[in-house]
Amino acid sequence: MAVDTEDAGARRTRRDVQRNMERVLQAAQELFAERGPDVKMEDVARRAGVGIGTIYRRFPSKEQLFAAVSAVACQHTRHCLAQAADDAHDPLEKLRAIILAQYRQSARQAALIDLRPDPSGVPPDLDRPGLYASIHTLLARVIAAGQRQGSIRSGDAQMLAAICLELLSPRTVQNLSRLADDDVDAAADQVVGFLTAGLRS
């Protein structure tokens, strides 16, 4: 029984810790998305409902917290986009699904991650380069497949994929969604219509 009690205690503690870290990541994600990387650590702590020390226990610096947030969001994004691509068979349909996935995430308040290469290239950002490469490759393959089967007009698939990526950047998603009265599906439809018109052969 003593053993059981101890185990339960240990398990409970660990669950709390786990939940605190999730709260921190969530708060950081929201604030970074809302106000950029210049948010104060204290603000992150406040929104997470913890003390600053708690953040620093797991993330030794602001930079690393930012990187962690980025990594988490990246994995999520990659997963969503790959999933969307898998769920459709026609290349144009795949593209449409990918775009809708990204636009709908903003409606779900899920953090959007910037999928574009960073021209300044300053922060290594852990997984970001890998993410960019994999997403870019994913899109380029889908487009190339469409070109081979004739449903997408010819042209540099790399460049066309890059253009798609630009139209999936967080700010673009937000701007276009806002212009469509926050009806992300409408915004996505416009973009999809535009893209497919622009890509179709």
Does 9 engage in binding with DNA (CB under 7 A)?
Answer: yes
Amino acid 15 reads R
Give min distance, CB of 74 to DNA, in A: 21
Give min distance, CB of 33 to DNA, in A: 16
Q: How many CB atoms lie within 10 A of CB 93?
A: 17
Q: How many CB atoms lie within 10 A of CB 33?
A: 19
Q: HSE (CB half, 13 Å, CA atoms) of 38? A: 1
Does 40 engage in binding with DNA (CB under 7 A)?
Answer: yes
7, 16, 22, 34: which one binds a copy of itself (CB under 8 A): 34
Identify whether the C-beta of residue 56 lies closer than 8 Å to the C-beta of residue 45.
Answer: no
Residue 1: DSSP 8-state = -
- Report the residue number, 87 or 183, with the smaller CB distance to a copy of itself: 183
- Please list the residues that pair with 200 across neighbouring strands: 152
User: Which entry of a copy of itself, DNA, none binds 167, CB below 5 to 8 A by partner kind?
Assistant: a copy of itself
4, 89, 108, 122: which one binds a copy of itself (CB under 8 A): 122
Q: Judge residue 4's burial from the number of C-beta atoms within 10 Å of its C-beta, 0-12 exposed, 13-18 middle, 19 or more buried.
A: exposed
Segment near DNA (CB under 7 A), from 55-63, 102-110, 134-142, 148-156? 55-63
User: Which entry of a copy of itself, DNA, none binds 134, CB below 5 to 8 A by partner kind?
Assistant: none
- Please list the residues that pair with 152 across neighbouring strands: 200
Q: How many CB atoms lie within 10 A of CB 22?
A: 12
Binding site for a copy of itself (CB under 8 A): 34-36, 38, 116-117, 119-120, 122, 153, 155-156, 158-160, 162-163, 166-167, 169, 171-172, 174-176, 178-180, 187, 190-191, 193-195, 197-200
